[in-house]
Amino acid sequence: MRVPSELTEFVKKEDDFFIASHFNPEGDALGSSIALHMALKSLGKRSVVFNRDLVPDTYRFLPGSDMVTGVVPAKIDNLLLLDCNSSGRAGLEKCIIGVSAVIDHHLTSDGFGDIRWVVPECPATGLMVFNLLKVMGADISEEMAINLYTAIGIDTGIFRYPNTSYECLAASAELVRMGADPGMIAERLFNNYSRNRFLLLKETLNSIDLRDGIAVTVITAGMYISTGTTSADTENFVNYPLLMGDVQVAMLFRQLGNDSWKVSLRSKGTVDVSIVATAFGGGGHRNAAGCEINAGLQEAKERLLKKLKDIVGL
């Protein structure tokens, strides 16, 4: 992976940086930001590492996560924008920004950034930062390695998604040699369910309604109450029915109120559920979309199933 020389020149020349990433951050945004912040310090430079939404509990294990600030400054001299490519995605749209450099692997773009290093085919921003640090001659410490391994890990489903490449495995091997502990990191990222959350998962799977190629699961308000959980505990639940080889679409209905449901849709391969979600006023991507629907549960399910049948033939 070639690191643009204008980026390395910029980082070499300046001494003070503001590192930002997208709000509602996950491991790639946070891990690559914190690792870059530490590396700049090790090179004798100063930086601030910023995220509007600070660090969710899941990522508090990242060394240096306590250094992330949520304070938006009025003015930024040298911005390093990571894992997104518009100032608005980082919550910085009202800042006066001097020079900005973007390091990102997302496709959507409004052209923001004086220096733009955007590589959509790269699985993770963490892999780009890894390459930048090597080009800059930064020593990658154990703390940086944990951050970068997490960044690459979360965006490849720890090497399970189709974007998993030779480069990200080779870099991750190096990061393990530098001190990242794969077992610990996987444990922190995935095996972090509370007992209540596990009970809710169990109940959610019990709700399954299997049709041809489609699996529907439901979480009612009563299930949250009986298990002592909230909608924040449902992350990734929609995906479980996709364990079945012949399930192409998974839908999870979560109750919002009387006759009101939030619907999450996931699909495999070329099945485009965003069209279905859009038809109900929602949106998303081909394989992950969502919408809301006001109806009783049976009617809501049948309306979604009918739309799926009409639009994608399932």
Binding site for a second copy (CB under 8 A): 157-166, 169-170, 172-173, 176-177, 181-184, 186-187, 190-195, 197-198, 201-202, 205-206, 208, 210, 241-246, 268
| Tokens 């990222």, residue located | 189
Cα 273 from chain centre: 19
Residue 22: which residues within 8 A CB-CB, separation 6 or more? 29, 83, 84, 89, 90
Nearer to a second copy among residue 258 and residue 270 (C-beta): 270
**In the complex, minimum distance from the CB of residue 63 to a second copy, in angstroms, rounded to a whole number:** 19
Q: Is the dihedral of CA 266, 272, 275, 278 positive or negative?
A: positive
Shortest Cβ 4–a second copy spacing (Å): 25
Q: Give the nearer residue to a second copy in terms of CB position, either 38 or 171.
A: 171
Judged by beta carbon, residue 76 or residue 148, the one nearer a second copy is 148
Closest CB 280 distance from a second copy, rounded Å: 26
- Token pair belonging to 269: 């391969």
**Exposed, middle or buried: residue 39 (CB in 10 Å: 0-12, 13-18, 19+)?**
buried
Structure tokens belonging to residue 290 = 């969502």
Residues in a beta bridge with 101: 80, 115
- Angle, CA of 256, 260 and 263, to the nearest 5°: 75
Cβ distance to a second copy smaller for residue 111 or 162: 162
Would you say 82 or 189 has its CB closer to a second copy?
Answer: 189
Closer to a second copy by Cβ: residue 204 or 264: 204
User: Smaller CB distance to a second copy: residue 64 or 123?
Assistant: 123
Q: What is the DSSP string of 49-113?
A: EE-TT---GGGTTSTTGGG-B-PPPSEEEEEEEES-SSGGGGT-TTSEEEEEEEEE--S------
Give the nearest distance from C-beta 268 to a second copy in angstroms. Answer: 7
**Contact present, 53 and 26 (Cβ < 8 Å):** no
- Which are the contacts of 176, defined by CB distance < 8 A and separation ≥ 6? 145, 149, 182
Least distance CB 160 / a second copy (angstroms): 4
Largest Cα separation within the chain, whole Å, is: 63
Pick the closer one to a second copy by CB: 14 or 203: 203
Shortest Å, Cβ 125 to a second copy: 19
- Cβ 211 to a second copy shortest distance, Å: 11
Q: Smallest distance from the beta carbon of 208 to a second copy, in angstroms?
A: 7
* Distance, CA of 288 to CA of 274 (rounded, Å): 7
